[in-house]
A and B are shown apart, each in its own frame.
Chain A
Amino acid sequence: MPDGHEPGRSRRTRLYALTDGRTAAPHAVLTMDTLITAMPAAEDASGLPSEWQTILEMCRPPQSRAVAEIAARMHMRLTPMTVLLGELAERGLIGHRPPLEAAETSNVNLLMRIRDSLARI
């Protein structure tokens, strides 16, 4: 855990303040390209920490965002963001959709749909 030794980093918010004390990744396997969507349970977010509210707001359906995008927009590094999102997932506040499985990446129908859509953007 970074401990504020480096110059210029001493005012960084402590990770555990954002993750509610959690310092290890929970069960959910979140990678940088896992797609996050706020769940209906997150609709009343008023009692939650403001960082959580910000994250839930940016992932409100139909919008969903990759872990890497949330981390970038929150100015957090990937690992702490993964821990934080794992906490939200455990509380049922977010749903997560993993990247394609290897077998799906050679699904011709999927590839052709992506191609057709790309051709029209």
Chain B
Amino acid sequence: MPEYDTDAREESPVKILIAGGFGVGKTTLVEAISEIEPLRTEERLTAAGVGVDDLDGIESKTATTVAMDFGRITLGDAGVVLITLGDAGVVLYLFGTPGQERFWFMWDDLLAGALGAIVLVDTRRLDRSFAAIDFFENRGLPFIIGANCFHGEQPYTAEEIAAALHLGDPATPVLMLDARSREEVRGALLALLDLLIARAGAGTPARA
């Protein structure tokens, strides 16, 4: 462990990633559940980080800065719930990952220590989320699929969506959700936690 003393350890940061293609509703989802207005963090890219060919026809502003939106849920310090980890509570950060594939080199930091991910898909544009699914499957990060119902409607069943996504693990949960709904987003997070608990090989079955 690092050198500082236990006074600095009131909270443990934990992290869940919200992934999916550009425009699929990641920031909306974060906004629905975060206790703070989603914040945007930016990183400036060096030339080495961006394929030179990718810059053609792209405004230099978007080509040199990558932004991530994120929110926060404090579990334990809000006076609502007290959970203890030793003496510590937990801060859950929800990071919306950069939607554009060429920024994915930034995901290595995000992946380290992440519990899991929600991959948001738009069934009108499923292909936009293929890359995120491949990425997490390759890296072994557990994830669930959230099919964003943009107008409260979804013409496909979960089974159809799962089949169309060619999921490596057919048991990957596929949920219908409205990313604007706090209840539904929380439900998706709970479903992810259930998956993680099951994966962690609990002797105790996950509670419904």
Q: Could you list which residues of chain A lie within 8 angstroms of chain B, going by C-beta atoms?
A: 2, 6, 31-35, 37, 39-40, 61-62, 64, 66, 68-69, 71-73, 77-79, 94-102, 104-108, 110-121
Contacts and interface: CB of A to CB of B under 8 A. Distances in A.
Contact of A39 (B8, B60, B110, B113): B8
Interface residues of B, number: 58
Main secondary structure of the interface of B (DSSP, over half): mixed
Nearest to B112: A99
Contact of B113 (A40, A79, A94, A105): A105
A78 B41 contact: yes
17 contacts: A37-B8, A64-B10, A68-B39, A68-B68, A69-B36, A69-B41, A77-B42, A77-B65, A95-B4, A108-B197, A110-B14, A112-B204, A113-B84, A114-B193, A116-B81, A117-B81, A121-B73
B41 A39 contact: no
Contacts of A37: 7-8, 10
A64 B4 CA distance: 15
Interface string B36-51: 1001111110000000
B65 to A, nearest CB: 8
A107 B65 CA distance: 36
B80 interface: yes
Contact of A112 (B43, B68, B109, B197): B197
Interface of B: 2, 4-5, 7-15, 36, 39-44, 60, 65, 68, 70, 72-73, 75-78, 80-81, 83-85, 90-93, 95, 109-110, 112-115, 186, 189-190, 193-194, 196-197, 199-202, 204, 206
A76 B138 CA distance: 33
A28 to B, nearest CB: 8
Nearest to A29: B2
A18 B90 CA distance: 31
A117 B79 CA distance: 11
